Amino acid sequence: MTTNADDKPSPALTNHGHGRVAPLRGATTTSVGRAPWLVAGAFGIVVLAVIAVVSLLSATNDRARLHRLQSEGVAVAVKVVTCTGNIGGSGSTSAGYSCRGSYVVGHQSFTERVGSKTTFSPPGTILRGVADPRQPSTVVLASALKDAHVSLGSFLAPLVLALGTLALSVALGRDVIGRRRSRFAGPGGAPR
């Protein structure tokens, strides 16, 4: 052990309960403290809550759009303008077709992507489609629409996110409240 002239242990060697440890040269480290971590935790909870709400709104909107197309959709004749094949992730398999078609709703012409297209249609082919009455630029094949349904599984992700947000909020709240109580409590847990 290194000693000073007074035979006291050197300040370079300290005992932290794990044996003797020599501090590193340079600036000493300080703890960040609890406040930044609590703020970061609260921010993370807010981000999760926003993602849960956006996911819920998206699933609800998809469900409403499908219902609107099935119950109030406008039947249209779609003339295929272009149709290109999509490839799968490996590049060796087909993953459907992206076709654009022109059609008329009311007195307005549209040239848009035809949704739910799985087979090739050469340009000039007439397809039976259904346009969204509230957003006429959305058109899907009538054949795909008759069997389509939105499963309740689309609400699973928002539900899991909401439950996770709730659990983290409760944990953070309990931690903050527990720390405040212990700070204001005297010895033995009695109030000061």
- Is 92 a domain residue? yes
Cα dist. 163→7, 49, 169 in Å?
A: 61, 10, 10
- Report which secondary-structure segment, H or E, holds 83: strand 74-87
The answer to whether residues 192 and 186 touch, using CB atoms and an 8 Å cutoff, is: yes
- Is 84 a domain residue? yes
The answer to whether residues 170 and 116 touch, using CB atoms and an 8 Å cutoff, is: no
What is the pLDDT tens value at each position of the chain, 192 positions in all? 454 555 555 555 555 555 566 666 777 777 777 788 888 889 999 999 999 999 999 999 988 888 888 889 999 999 999 988 887 777 677 778 888 999 999 889 999 998 778 888 899 999 999 998 888 888 888 888 877 777 788 889 899 999 999 998 998 888 777 776 666 665 555 555
| Rounded CA separation 75/145 (Å) | 11
Give the per-residue pLDDT at 192.
53
- Is 137 a domain residue? yes
Taking the CA of residue 105 as centre, how many other CA atoms within 13 Å lie in the half-sphere pointing to its CB?
18
- Is 64 a domain residue? no
CATH code, domain with 138:
2.40.50
| Rounded CA separation 97/192 (Å) | 73
- Is 40 a domain residue? no
Domain count, the chain: 1
Closest CA to 128 of 158, 101, 94: 101
Give the per-residue pLDDT at 21.
65
Place of tokens 């935790």: 41
- Is 101 a domain residue? yes
Give the per-residue pLDDT at 165.
92
Please say whether the dihedral angle defined by the alpha carbons of residues 23, 28, 33 and 39, taken in this order, is positive or negative: negative
- Is 2 a domain residue? no
* Segments forming the whole domain that contains residue 107: 72-147
- Is 81 a domain residue? yes
pTM beyond 0.75: no
